[in-house]
Amino acid sequence: MVQNSGYMNVITGVRSSDGSLKTDGLNEVPEEKVSDALATETASMFANRINDELFVLYEPSYGPYDMEIIFVHDLYTQGSRDAWRTTWTNDDGTCWPREFLGKKFPRARILSVSYDACVITNSTQGRMNSLFIITENLMVNFFLPRSKVGLTSNCPVLFVGHGLGCFVIKNLMLKASEQFAENEEKRRKFLENVGGFVFYSPFNSGVKWDLYANESGQSNTLTDCLRPHSAELSRLNEAFASLRRRMKERRKSRFLWTVLTICESHQTSSRKPGSLQRSGTFVTEGTARFDCELFRYGVGDHFNVCKHQSTANVNYQCMEDWLDSILTNSRKPSRNSMPNFDPTAENFKAILPRKLFLKLFPKKNPFYEYAAFIEAAVTFVPQGFGVDVSEDDQKREIAALLAHFDHESCGLRHKEQCCPPSTHCPEGPCHPCKSYHGRGPLQLCGNHNYKLCGEGIGDDSLLSFPEKLSQDPVIAFKSALWFWCTPQWNKPSCHSVMTGKWTPTSTDVEASRLPGFGLTINIINRIDCVERDSAHARVEKYKFFCERLAVHPGENIDCRYQKPFL
């Protein structure tokens, strides 16, 4: 954030002349100098708001993300603002999770949580006065369609907390592990995706002196956690340590569900009104070191230990390496971290037997052989086709793929477009006397797609010999699966949409582009979403194939109200 002395000033961990402490936020300033428009502009500079409790600090500009990093702030005082942002903003106004981690992990989605943790309780501040209420609300928020945090298959989730935020995270993990609670399937997937934790100055056994003790007003009961040897905090720490042990055993990895703790190294200043300034260590090594795999001293007092000034900071580099190691180990397949499917031809044959394939396409061209489809499908297993989702999701994806096969090739009867109006080569590269009209089960069209498809399936001759798609059935099916599994320019892949690996951005949600079969219509041929008869035909075919594969079609199967990708 660029500081403007005429409007705002960033002050952390000190008291103003009236004795009120300003922490992790902006000082209160004269109302006439800060308009609502400026506040909105400032927030928009830092993040895209999913809702008033969850902000996107960074996400890939296109395509799916492959990890999520969630930041949770500490307690704050009545004179502070936007702790979700200022907690992670350093002295030069840089939001380091976005600027530093976004460059290190360009395919990451980085979020910051905002919750009511004011140390003073009144009509507008400190209303969420228990960790239980905070985490209950947060879990509901995570599972909302616009948020969808921790629900993407094979996408690790990492948590970063400061002070009280560390215990919000711990309580959230315990809440997700509860039995006989709602959203059981979502909670299970969420826990399986959790990779590890970074905690800045967690006061595990309380603090010896309360930095907030002299704040005017009724104290928020959340500050009870600060008391030495708090019974609630002790139970929480023990339960979280036990959960970590169980999850490590379940994930069969000593790297996952691990904790890196970074503790403050400088004294924090406080001053009572009308008295001398007092300095002391707020969170000591003894209380911070509990239950962690790696402990480090950071740079700064309690409020600045989590504000990395540059990527050259050794503790930032340590945290970056820690996240990288967790990410690497999260992606290693294990018996418990991924569904136990056999990534071989037999797996596809079990879902779609040859006899059923022939019944579904009774008038198909002999060119479209069942064996050719299976051979092509197996080559896309490394891209996740048919192996990293539940059996129902796998059936829905195959049903969706077959529905588009049926629609594009008239029941797998046509190998290529009849009487094409042009060679479909608006600009190079093209080969003389060659036409790049629709061919194969999905009618791949256009010289650009032929070139990219050839590169994708390892056959560079497709641009010079496009006829291969109507001469070799394996290449024909491979061309269709390449398009299905590959993001198209600014569009996600159909595979990621049907398997839950893609999460819509706020722009997508506003355009009604939500995961489901309907979005695959938008991706393959957006015109069909306008021409209702064509879209309806695809939907009916999809429902038919789902019925034959004995699986529910799922949600968002139509594209009626979707806007096209620009």
236 token code pair? 């929480």
Of 46, 54, 59, residue with least CA distance to 71: 54
Give yes or no for a contact between 503 and 512, defined as CB atoms under 8 angstroms apart.
no
131-153 burial, b at 16+ Cβ within 10 Å, e below that, comes to: beebbeebbebbbeebbbbbbbb
| CA–CA separation, 42 and 26 (whole Å) | 12
Helix (H) or strand (E) holding 376: helix 370-379
Give yes or no for a contact between 299 and 307, defined as CB atoms under 8 angstroms apart.
no
**3-state secondary structure at position 197:** strand
Phi then psi for residue 434, to 5 deg, are -110, 140
What does the DSSP 8-state code read for residue 267? P
Q: Is 280 exposed, middle or buried (0-12, 13-18, 19+ CB in 10 A)?
A: middle
| CA–CA separation, 495 and 50 (whole Å) | 25
Give yes or no for a contact between 211 and 272, defined as CB atoms under 8 angstroms apart.
no
Phi then psi for residue 159, to 5 deg, are -115, 140
Place of tokens 């989702």: 389
Per the DSSP assignment, residues forming a β-bridge with 294 are 260
184 token code pair? 């059981």
How far does CA 277 lie from the centroid of its chain? Answer: 44
Residues 6+ apart with CB under 8 A from 476: 367, 368, 372, 415, 439, 440, 441, 469, 470
| CA–CA separation, 32 and 464 (whole Å) | 68
Overall residue count recorded for the chain in this entry: 566
Which residues in 157-215 belong to E strands, given as ranges?
Answer: 157-162, 194-200
Which residues in 30-123 belong to E strands, given as ranges?
Answer: 48-51, 54-58, 67-72, 108-113, 120-121
Give yes or no: 320 in active site.
no
Ramachandran category for residue 417: left, alpha or beta (phi over 0 → left; psi -120 to 50 → alpha) = beta
Q: Out of 68, 192, 264, 408, which one is annotated catalytic? A: 408
Per the DSSP assignment, residues forming a β-bridge with 108 are 67
| Cα→Cα distances 49→5, 114, 505, Å | 26, 11, 10
- The catalytic residues are 408
